């Protein structure tokens, strides 16, 4: 390929890779089943309509990683600063919609969090976040949990895909009608490493199951909602060309979508197994992925709008997830 074309393609992909490496974290209504009736509720008489479960009024505790915290979504508030927590993230919007007073809501989510940071101290570049589960008490009535993407190494898979496509650029394959999938092929040829991705997801699920048991132990009266990750990519990879160009193989975009679906499927399964409710953020975010227009997308692309985080929800994304959580909470 011409030198100028090579430099343009390689330079663009290098920038994409840098954005992905710096991105950090990760990655409708409820379809995880009805929440359990509160203690003391009388069983409905045979033939009588079921008694609606009242919407919880708090105290509400929000747990999670950067998708929950609202990395770089303005305004950034709270301590430690390294958690990059937003006053406009979905927990804050849910609390406001439920009319909860300040003393009835605690957001202890933190960017970069893994499941281990729910029970142990998380050290950030700017301060330490106490174990997130320490915010729970027997009085807690509502808990949302948005975690698992970091445990599953999802951003590592995204970064690896960027690297593999960069190799293709160096080989002069960018701009051709590629039918291969260098990222998928990398995992397939690395001793079955594609299965290793699933194993990481499964391990994250085991850790999440333990976390959900601990939440139930600390807050036995709380209704617990496990919040999934919004769609990062569209169903049709061709619609990403205006945003990503032809630098990333369409089949690799499909591969990344497949991995994210595995992650969300695990979250849904573990929620059901623990008697919690899964909140599907992927379905309502369809058409609002990173390849949608700036006015439409919920998730920022590798080159985000000024001041926002790459491959993370923007303010519209936090609003969309909040609407999904509220739909589940209100039943």
Output the pLDDT for position 197: 77
Compare 8 and 161 and report the one with higher pLDDT.
161
Range name among 35-39, 298-302, 304-308, 322-326 with the lowest pLDDT average = 35-39
Average pLDDT of the segment spanning 248-260: 84
Output the pLDDT for position 152: 87
**In this structure, what are the phi and psi dihedrals at residue 2, rounded to the nearest 5 degrees?**
-60, 150
Q: Is the pLDDT of residue 229 over 50?
A: yes
Q: How many domains does the chain have?
A: 1
Q: Are 154 and 263 in contact (CB under 8 A)?
A: yes
Q: Are 225 and 145 in contact (CB under 8 A)?
A: yes
In-domain check, residue 43? no
End-to-end Cα separation, the chain, in angstroms: 57
In-domain check, residue 49? no
In-domain check, residue 151? yes
pLDDT bucket at 247, cuts 50 / 70 / 90: low
Q: Is the pLDDT of residue 173 over 70?
A: no
In-domain check, residue 48? no
Q: Are 295 and 287 in contact (CB under 8 A)?
A: no
- What residue numbers bound the domain in which 61 lies? 3-35+54-330
In-domain check, residue 217? yes
What residues contact 297, with CB distance under 8 A and at least 6 apart? 288, 289, 290, 291, 314, 316, 317
Average pLDDT of the segment spanning 76-81: 96
Output the pLDDT for position 18: 42
In-domain check, residue 45? no
* Three-state SS sequence of 141-155: CEEEEECCCCCCCHH
Average pLDDT of the segment spanning 170-188: 61
Residue numbers annotated as active site: 66, 312
The pTM is what?
0.82
CATH number at residue 176: 3.40.50.1110
Task: Classify strands 122-124 and 76-77 as parallel, antiparallel or unpaired.
Answer: unpaired
Residue 91 structure tokens: 């927990």
Report the share of the chain in percent with pLDDT over 90. Answer: 58
What residues contact 36, with CB distance under 8 A and at least 6 apart? 223, 275
Output the pLDDT for position 168: 56
Measure the CA angle with vertex 58, ends 284 and 63; round to 5°: 55
Instruction: Report how far residue 322's alpha carbon sits from residue 86's, in angstroms, rounded to the nearest whole number.
Output: 13
Instruction: Report how far residue 152's alpha carbon sits from residue 71's, in angstroms, rounded to the nearest whole number.
Output: 19
Coil, helix or strand for 176? coil
In-domain check, residue 44? no
DSSP 57: -
Output the pLDDT for position 39: 41
In-domain check, residue 78? yes
Instruction: Report how far residue 123's alpha carbon sits from residue 108's, in angstroms, rounded to the nearest whole number.
Output: 13
Output the pLDDT for position 236: 86
What mean pLDDT, rounded, does the chain reach? 82
Q: Which of 88, 87, 82, 72 is nearest to 130 (CA)?
A: 82
């Amino acid at each position: 390929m011409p030198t100028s074309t090579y430099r343009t393609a390689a330079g663009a992909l290098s920038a994409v890779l840098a954005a992905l490496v710096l991105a950090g974290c990760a990655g409708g209504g409820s379809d995880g089943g009805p929440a359990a009736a509160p203690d003391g509720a009388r069983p409905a008489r045979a033939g009588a309509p079921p008694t609606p479960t009242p919407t919880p009024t708090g105290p509400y505790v929000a747990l999670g990683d950067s998708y929950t915290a609202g990395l770089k979504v303005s305004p950034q508030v709270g301590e430690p600063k390294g958690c990059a927590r937003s006053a406009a993230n979905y927990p804050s919007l849910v609390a406001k919609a439920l009319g909860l007073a300040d003393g009835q809501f605690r957001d202890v989510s933190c960017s970069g969090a893994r499941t281990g940071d729910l029970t142990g101290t998380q050290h950030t570049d700017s301060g330490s976040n106490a174990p997130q589960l320490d915010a729970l008490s027997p009085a807690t009535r509502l808990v949302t949990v948005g975690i698992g993407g970091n445990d599953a190494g999802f951003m590592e898979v995204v970064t690896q895909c960027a690297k593999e496509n960069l190799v293709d650029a160096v080989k002069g394959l960018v701009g051709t009608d590629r039918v291969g999938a260098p990222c998928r092929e990398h995992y397939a040829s690395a001793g079955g490493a594609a299965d290793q991705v699933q194993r990481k997801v499964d391990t994250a699920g085991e850790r999440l199951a333990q976390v959900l048991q601990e939440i139930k132990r600390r807050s036995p009266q709380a209704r617990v909602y496990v919040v999934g990750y919004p769609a990062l990519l569209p169903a049709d990879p061709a619609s990403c060309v205006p945003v990503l160009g032809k630098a990333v193989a369409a089949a690799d975009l499909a591969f990344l979508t497949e991995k994210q679906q595995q992650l969300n499927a695990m979250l849904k399964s573990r929620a059901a197994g623990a008697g919690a409710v899964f909140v599907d953020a992927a379905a309502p975010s369809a058409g609002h992925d990173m390849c949608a227009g700036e006015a439409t997308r919920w998730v920022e692309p590798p080159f985000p709008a000024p001041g926002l985080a790459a491959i993370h929800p923007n303010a519209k994304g936090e609003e969309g997830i909040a609407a999904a959580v509220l739909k589940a909470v209100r039943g």
